[in-house]
A and B are shown apart, each in its own frame.
Chain A
């Protein structure tokens, strides 16, 4: 080997050594950089399924935005599914160990049912029951363990009217039952009025809300709870008397319209074909001018239905930690944000104050907080009976003389457990 070649070899070895040392130094930096990049790339997408679309989703979107702002590494993907559709999809998916989303809004009774089958994560570490409206967690608690968290709730506080309509016709909200009936008669005489009260319909739930308001007014929350538990029959004299003496006479007198698709009913009521409309608080977000809204609860009302939107975290979520983080947010601060929008919803988390509410909902929130809250009857029983309840009430609405058949059917179809 020549001297030149030896020197050239040394030069190459030297360059190689320098390169190795240099790469080691740079390598240290590279490692750091890689770590940083990995942290940024740890983006997680959580899927949420809820019932809202349109304006209702716009209100919920504010909640999503707030969570995403607090958690830059989590992105929320939202899909709209009705509970009716989910009830057919979820049992099969859960049985196969899969879930279509990480957080799913669903009926309380359904969540409890799925929890009993071992498909839902416990939320005891996320939810502090003391911070919620009393009894709100009963529906989704199984053997002392909480499986469904409440989000905001709709209240079914009474009959809505337009203040401008009442002023125009010299009508006054009633203080007693007799005044209420007299008001209906007075409204019936107004030219152009088709019926004093418009009856909302779709699958049947608006009519069930009216009925529950009568039960809560004349029987109280205790009776409602006993009906839910199956401890009191529908043919029980106390229940029958509410129908016979209060509801059926109003139906017979033609104070309620035939069932009309509930969103169409909003328009007809707003334009003055009808004067009163029994609907949940979300109605405030559906009318042109919520400041024109007045509310009449049945005189002497003892309790009101507070129907929360419950959600669960299926066991099959691929991001349990983040899903629980979102669950906690929805059950707490998310509620504060949601009631501040035009959602027309009420908080079930007691930390939310009246000041947090959207302006038109503040008065409603005050009314609701002053009465006892009760669970939604048909949502609590659920299953086939829920549909039967809706359907039988639709029948009663057009044929009040079939009361005996209706009450008998409700007893016969009630879950036997």
Chain B
């Protein structure tokens, strides 16, 4: 007698499910539950209203003409707008440049680029902090050498530059992932395709547009989704590099959640931000799943 297939699947899933209930599912529902309370009192959507209307989350009075703070949610969006395309295309560019085995030292360059990915994020945050510090960091030193005094400052100390210092630092850290994924993707494209295109008289750009880029599409989807998730949940490097300041100029959602939780000891507001953050992260995750299907 054959056992129903679903029962067998369930049997193998059971250990994972048993662990997920107390460690994942219960905390998720408890967080949602907490977000509707203030202390022990049920307040409905009041917490959501207070948090979402707070200038901590969205501060459009200053956006975009004045320098940050623009609110944590806006900062996350700015992060995505800058960080996502730059890391994707920078990673692709480096992977394309270094794909040929005959490029001497390509593995060393790849290792250096990938270094950002393997260091602990706290260390990454510290490096970012010092990279942009006047008198110690290379970035202000470069601008000083170029005679651009306005940018030869401690970037993390100024509201005009703190957010961008964190984003640029994050590009350095995350480009390794993009480069590595594209390198793997490029290696998997059969050489015959290129040879055929060359015989047909295609230019380099045409080959890239019609052969390489379409074949890298599945990889690109993964990179975009993962980068989106990274941009939304960014916490540690901001916490160390700028602490979200000055004046909240580099605050992001995850750090705001931490502030509500650990500083204000306001678990209900922290739960609201957690729910918001989870909802926002689910969108790229679902998109990734659908595209992969």
Q: How far is the CA of A399 from the CA of B245 in the complex (A)?
A: 13
Q: Does A16 contact B (CB under 8 A)?
A: no
Report B-chain residues with C-beta under 8 Å of the C-beta of A259.
Answer: 154, 157, 246
Q: How far is the CA of A402 from the CA of B153 in the complex (A)?
A: 19
Whether A88 lies near B262 (C-beta < 8 A) is yes
Q: How far is the CA of A386 from the CA of B264 in the complex (A)?
A: 9
Q: Closest residue to A203 on the B side, CB-wise? A: B243
Q: Does B17 contact A (CB under 8 A)?
A: no
Whether A204 lies near B243 (C-beta < 8 A) is yes
Report B-chain residues with C-beta under 8 Å of the C-beta of A399.
Answer: 158-159
Q: Closest residue to A402 on the B side, CB-wise? A: B247
Q: Does B141 contact A (CB under 8 A)?
A: no
Whether B243 lies near A258 (C-beta < 8 A) is no
Q: Closest residue to B263 on the A side, CB-wise? A: A384
Report A-chain residues with C-beta under 8 Å of the C-beta of B259.
Answer: 384, 387
The residue from A387, A392, A398, A402 contacting B263, defined by CB atoms under 8 A apart: A387
Interface centre among B136, B153, B246 (most CB of A within 10 A): B246
Task: Annotate A232-268 by CB proximity to B: 1 below 8 A, 0 otherwise.
Answer: 0000000000000000000000000011110010001
Q: How far is the CA of A184 from the CA of B133 in the complex (A)?
A: 24
Report A-chain residues with C-beta under 8 Å of the C-beta of B38.
Answer: none
Interface centre among B243, B244, B247 (most CB of A within 10 A): B247
Report A-chain residues with C-beta under 8 Å of the C-beta of B236.
Answer: none
- Chain B residues 167 to 224 lying within 8 A of chain A, measured CB to CB, are none
Task: Annotate A373-417 by CB proximity to B: 1 below 8 A, 0 otherwise.
Answer: 000000000011011001110110111001001100100000000
Whether A383 lies near B263 (C-beta < 8 A) is yes
The residue from A261, A268, A384, A392 contacting B266, defined by CB atoms under 8 A apart: A384
Interface size class of A (residues with CB under 8 A): 20 to 34
Report B-chain residues with C-beta under 8 Å of the C-beta of A91.
Answer: 265
Q: Closest residue to A392 on the B side, CB-wise? A: B247
CB distance from A192 to the nearest CB of B (A): 13
Report A-chain residues with C-beta under 8 Å of the C-beta of B159.
Answer: 395, 398-399
Q: Does B230 contact A (CB under 8 A)?
A: no
Q: How far is the CA of A259 from the CA of B244 in the complex (A)?
A: 15
Q: Does A355 contact B (CB under 8 A)?
A: no
Report A-chain residues with C-beta under 8 Å of the C-beta of B243.
Answer: 203-204, 387, 391
Q: Does A143 contact B (CB under 8 A)?
A: no
Interface centre among B136, B157, B249 (most CB of A within 10 A): B157
Report B-chain residues with C-beta under 8 Å of the C-beta of A113.
Answer: 265
Whether A258 lies near B157 (C-beta < 8 A) is yes
Q: Does A42 contact B (CB under 8 A)?
A: no
Q: Does A87 contact B (CB under 8 A)?
A: yes
Q: Does B89 contact A (CB under 8 A)?
A: no
Residues of chain A having any CB pair with chain B under 8 Å: 84, 87-88, 91, 113, 194, 201, 203-204, 258-261, 264, 268, 383-384, 386-387, 390-392, 394-395, 397-399, 402, 405-406, 409
Could you name 5 residue pairs across A and B whose Cβ atoms are closer than 8 Å? A87-B262, A383-B265, A384-B259, A394-B245, A395-B247
Residues of chain B having any CB pair with chain A under 8 Å: 129, 133-136, 153-154, 157-159, 243-249, 259-266
